[in-house]
């Protein structure tokens, strides 16, 4: 099992290799994770998708809230971080996809998650990719579902309002840097 310090080193290494893809120097704090997850009814979910799982700041916390029959599919584009996650979290409800969240529609193959949890750095991803992923995430949600988004600025707000009828927000100061948390529901038919 990895120590928290080793995980931070692995995360920092990934940031140094791909700064725009990782978008943060530290994993999300457990305070920001719990503030974010409190914005959606995870306990009732049968399928949850995580986008940009990194070293798993959200992963175990999501599993802790899910029922025994529920499933979590976690996407992580960096194979080294996906391997860290697989080694860290051993749970039959978890499927780690070492690939891009752009493939969410194909991977889900018609399954509809009630909650999608994203810590992807939308504003620093290569041009266009963030918008594509957000739109696909909105499109796969089950009726009544929620997309949770963590960002380090409010720059994404107009895009969230373009895609969703309802966008709630809160800010968590106990994170480096402070985290903007959004709960998006009522995806629009575009």
Ligand X SMILES: C[S@@+](CC[C@H](N)C(=O)[O-])C[C@H]1O[C@@H](n2cnc3c(N)ncnc32)[C@H](O)[C@@H]1O
Query: Closest Cα to residue 147, out of 157, 156, 155, 137?
Result: 137
- Measured from the CB of residue 24, what is the shortest distance to ligand X in angstroms? 4
- Measured from the CB of residue 73, what is the shortest distance to ligand X in angstroms? 12
Please say which residue, 101 or 148, places its beta carbon nearer to ligand X: 101
- Measured from the CB of residue 189, what is the shortest distance to ligand X in angstroms? 25
Residues that bind ligand X (CB under 6 A): 14, 21-24, 27-28, 51-54, 57-58, 75-78, 81, 100-102, 119-121, 125
Query: Closest Cα to residue 52, out of 134, 146, 143?
Result: 134
- Measured from the CB of residue 1, what is the shortest distance to ligand X in angstroms? 18
The arrangement of strands across the sheet holding 71-75 comes to: 94-97, 71-75, 47-51, 115-118, 146-151, 179-187, 164-172
Please say which residue, 42 or 81, places its beta carbon nearer to ligand X: 81
Please say which residue, 11 or 164, places its beta carbon nearer to ligand X: 11
Contact between residue 136 and residue 113 where contact means Cβ atoms under 8 Å apart: no
């Amino acid at each position: 099992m990895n120590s928290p310090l080793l995980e931070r080193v692995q995360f920092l290494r990934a940031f140094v290799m791909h700064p725009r893809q990782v978008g943060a120097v530290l994993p999300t704090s457990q305070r920001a994770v719990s503030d974010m997850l409190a914005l959606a009814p995870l306990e009732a979910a049968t399928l949850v998708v995580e986008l940009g799982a990194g070293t798993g700041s959200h992963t175990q916390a999501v599993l802790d809230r899910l029922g025994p029959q529920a499933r979590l599919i976690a996407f992580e584009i960096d194979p080294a971080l996906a391997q860290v996650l697989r080694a860290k979290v051993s749970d039959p409800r978890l499927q780690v996809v070492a690939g891009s969240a752009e493939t969410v529609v194909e991977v889900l193959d018609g399954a509809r998650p009630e909650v999608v949890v994203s810590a992807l750095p939308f504003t620093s991803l290569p041009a266009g990719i963030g918008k594509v992923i957000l739109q696909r995430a909105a499109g796969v949600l089950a009726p009544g579902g929620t997309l949770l988004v963590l960002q380090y600025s409010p720059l994404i707000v107009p895009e969230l309002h373009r895609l969703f009828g309802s966008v709630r927000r809160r800010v968590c100061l106990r994170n480096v840097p402070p985290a903007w948390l959004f709960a998006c529901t009522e995806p629009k038919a575009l």
